[in-house]
Each structure stands twice: as C-alpha cells, then as structure tokens.
C-alpha cells in the first residue's frame, strides 16, 4: 500500500466533507464510485489521485473550480496530467483546471460512428427543450398510426357478446326468471380481441444524448394513445417513467423526467439494467407476451455476457423484440460492435430510428406487417 493510499484513508472523509462545505454537490453514489476507483487503481501519486477524483466527483468546469483548491489543501499540488496507462480509471480527455483546453467532460461519449460507450456513472438532471412544431405534427401522426400498428391478441377473460362458443348461463337464467322460466334468447360469451402490451426500454446514456428527447416524446405518444404501455429508461440504472408520461402536454411530461431520470447523459450499462428489470417479478409480467421495443445504440460498456443473456430472455418472454438504433439509419451500418453482435440473434427486427420522423416510418412498417 503506497503512502498516498494511507494518507487517503486518514483524510478522505474530511476531504469529502470539505467539498460539501465549499458548495460542491457530492452524492453518496459519487463518493462510492470515487472510493472504488481508488481501490481498483491504487493511485501512483497526487496527480493520479487528482484525476481519479476529477473524473468521479465533478461534472463540469464549475465543479473543478471548487474541487481543485480543496484537493490542494488536503493532498498538496497535483501537478500535470499523468500519462495514460492501461489501468487508468477512465479514458476521458480532461483538460487541466484553469487551462485553455476544451470544456471538462466527465464521460467519454460515443459519436456518430458508434464505436465507444460512455463510462461515466455521475448523476445529472437532463434538460429537454420544447418540442418543435414539426415534432408536434409528427406526434399527431404517431398517435393516429400506433393504434393500428400494435398487434392484437385474444383476451383471456370471457365477455358477453352477440356471438361466441360459450353460453352465458348467468344471463340466460336471469332473463328466464323474468319470462316465467322460459328461455327466449340464448346469450353467449366470447374472448374479445385487444391490443398487446407494449414495453419501451429507452437508452438515455451519454452516447444517446442527441436522440433521448425524441425517444421520450415517442414514448409519450404511445402512453397517450395505447391501452397498455410501460416505459423504462436506462443508462447506469433502470427507471420506470410510465406515470410521469401520462401528463397530457408533451413538454410538461418529458420535462418532469429531469427530476426522476438521474443517470441521463452518463454511462452505459445495458446488461445490468436489463437484468435489474428481469429480476423484478412485477416487471417480468409486463414483458410477457408484449411487443418489446429497445431504443438504444447497443454500445455496452464492459462484459457483454449479461447483455446477451438479458436480451435473450426478453426475446423469449415477449411477442416480438424490436431494436431501434440511430446508427442503423446509415446505410453502411453493420452491427459489428461487441454488444450488438452478441444480441443480434435474439432480435426480431433491427431498424434505424434517430428522431420522430424515422420512428413514424418504423411504426408504418409495423402496421403493414
């Protein structure tokens, strides 16, 4: 154990307390990530420790302005950015505090090529701008088209009907009492058709930042016009957002999610998030026999084994599993990343959706099928 780690053990609580006293918001989850990063990497020197803390305890340049002098008081001058090694705690390019580099980024975000997943587990409150007039026009089309696009299924409950293979004995007896024991009409029961349940799983991680708002507006349209819809978001954790999306106004509904979805624009942990869904017996019921739509680029961080197993089980539970990704909007796209190649065999349809208009096109394809 290095001298630095011994000093950290003695001073970390006071250091974190001082950060809070200076006005830096450091939630318990972020503190836990900081301590785990120290344990996993074993800081080589003060500079290495400085950047571990910067990557796990701060989210913007304003945070660095509080973090840097506080760190210096407790651990001394951090010095220059350490050389990148294989066991570094993050792969992010972070400019030195006070320098002329690009703004601080706590997460490495996959770009248009879709070759990298985000690594940050910070908490943040996303801000979704208002829907444009074009978005509202497409949302109106979606509400009209979605009703006919969702597959139908026979209800398990028998209902009174004009035709049906079952005689409604209770109704026949009630009517016969009014007619002095005579059976005038034979009443029947059947199993009417109804819409299948729809399950939407929306990726809100950093690599999906440009598309999350459109996906959530699509979910709002689905919740508003379909009978049975459940919506979950995932980045580094799973969040059920069905109830907030029931608000009539789309901007109000999507805007309220900033208080609920705290892992937006952060890291990507698709496999663990889906496994958390499948570990809840109530949530599993929502997926059974449902039309499952995953809106994600499929850029998994770390081991893809949990993601493969979770997607496989979702495919077996649901009626169909659709995977909509913005990367597939490029005609040259091929699902060759580790995550997508691992789950491709469990996906019924892989399609490109990057905004509401492309989502409307996929809904039309679903209706034709």
Mean pLDDT confidence for 78-101: 39
Residue 316's contacts (CB-CB under 8 Å, 6 or more residues apart) are none
Q: Inform me whether the pLDDT recorded for 159 exceeds 60.
A: yes
What percent of the chain lies above the pLDDT cut of 70? 84
Question: Tokens 């009626």 map to which residue?
Answer: 319
pLDDT, position 109: 34
pLDDT, position 52: 85
pLDDT, position 124: 62
Question: What is the Cα–Cα distance from 338 to 301, expressed in whole angstroms?
Answer: 9
Q: Inform me whether the pLDDT recorded for 144 exceeds 80.
A: yes
17-31, 111-125, 217-231, 283-297, range with the lowest pLDDT: 111-125
What percent of the chain lies above the pLDDT cut of 90? 41
pLDDT, position 91: 36
Closest CA to 57 of 27, 13, 98: 27
pLDDT, position 7: 54
Q: Inform me whether the pLDDT recorded for 251 exceeds 90.
A: yes
Cβ-contact 309, 317 below 8 angstroms: no
Task: Please list the alpha-helical segments (H only) found in the chain.
Answer: 3-21, 28-41, 46-57, 61-75, 133-149, 169-178, 212-225, 250-255, 270-279, 281-287, 305-317, 338-343, 356-368
Task: Give the model confidence (pLDDT) of 90-120 as tens digits.
Answer: 333 333 333 333 333 333 333 333 344 544 4
pLDDT, position 99: 36
In the chain, what is the straight-line distance between the N-terminal and C-terminal CA atoms, in Å?
A: 62
Q: How confident is the model at residue 207 (pLDDT cuts 50, 70, 90)?
A: confident
pLDDT, position 123: 58
Cβ-contact 126, 257 below 8 angstroms: yes
18-27, 44-53, 73-82, 155-164, range with the lowest pLDDT: 73-82
pLDDT, position 289: 92
Tokens of 130: 């208002």
Residue 70 φ then ψ, to 5°: -65, -40
When comparing pLDDT for 232 and 53, which is higher? 232
Task: Give the model confidence (pLDDT) of 4-58 as tens digits.
Answer: 455 556 567 778 888 887 888 888 888 888 888 888 777 777 888 888 888 888 8
Cβ-contact 318, 290 below 8 angstroms: yes
pLDDT, position 134: 94
Tokens of 10: 């003695």
Question: What is the Cα–Cα distance from 284 to 268, expressed in whole angstroms?
Answer: 22
Question: What is the Cα–Cα distance from 287 to 141, expressed in whole angstroms?
Answer: 26
Q: Inform me whether the pLDDT recorded for 265 exceeds 90.
A: no
Question: What is the Cα–Cα distance from 92 to 103, expressed in whole angstroms?
Answer: 12
Question: What is the average pLDDT score of the chain?
Answer: 81
């Amino acid at each position: 154990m290095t001298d630095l780690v011994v000093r950290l053990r003695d001073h970390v609580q006071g250091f974190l307390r001082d950060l809070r006293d200076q006005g830096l918001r450091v939630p318990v989850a972020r503190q836990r990530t900081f301590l785990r990063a120290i344990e996993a990497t074993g800081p080589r020197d003060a500079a290495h420790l400085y950047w571990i803390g910067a990557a796990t305890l701060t989210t913007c340049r304003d945070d660095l302005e509080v973090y840097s002098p506080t760190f210096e008081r407790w651990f001394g001058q951090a010095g220059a950015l350490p050389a990148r090694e294989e066991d570094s705690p993050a792969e992010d390019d972070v400019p030195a505090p006070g320098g002329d580099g690009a703004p601080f980024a706590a997460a490495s975000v996959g770009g248009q090529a879709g070759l990298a997943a985000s690594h940050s587990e910070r908490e943040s409150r996303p801000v979704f701008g208002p829907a444009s007039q074009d978005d509202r026009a497409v949302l109106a089309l979606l509400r009209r088209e979605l009703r006919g696009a969702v597959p139908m299924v026979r209800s398990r409950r028998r209902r009174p009907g004009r035709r049906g293979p079952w005689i409604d004995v209770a109704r026949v007896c009630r009517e016969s009492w009014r007619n002095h024991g005579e059976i005038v009409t034979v009443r029947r029961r059947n199993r009417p058709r109804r819409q299948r349940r729809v399950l939407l799983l929306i990726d809100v991680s950093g690599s999906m930042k440009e598309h999350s708002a459109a996906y959530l507006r699509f979910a709002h349209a689905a919740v508003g016009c379909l009978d049975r819809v459940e919506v979950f978001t995932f980045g580094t954790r799973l969040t059920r957002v069905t109830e907030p999306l029931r608000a009539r106004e789309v901007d109000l509904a999507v805007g309220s999610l900033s208080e609920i979805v705290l892992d937006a624009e952060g890291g990507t942990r698709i496999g663990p998030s889906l496994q958390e869904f499948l570990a809840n017996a109530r949530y599993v019921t929502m997926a059974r026999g449902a039309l499952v739509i995953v809106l994600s680029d499929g850029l998994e961080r770390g081991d893809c084994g949990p993601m493969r197993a979770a997607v496989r089980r979702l495919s077996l539970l649901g009626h169909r599993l659709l995977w909509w990704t913005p990367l597939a909007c490029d005609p040259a796209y091929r699902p060759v990343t580790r995550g997508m190649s691992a789950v491709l065999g469990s996906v019924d349809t892989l399609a490109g959706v990057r905004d509401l208009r492309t989502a409307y096109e996929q809904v039309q394809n679903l209706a034709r099928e």
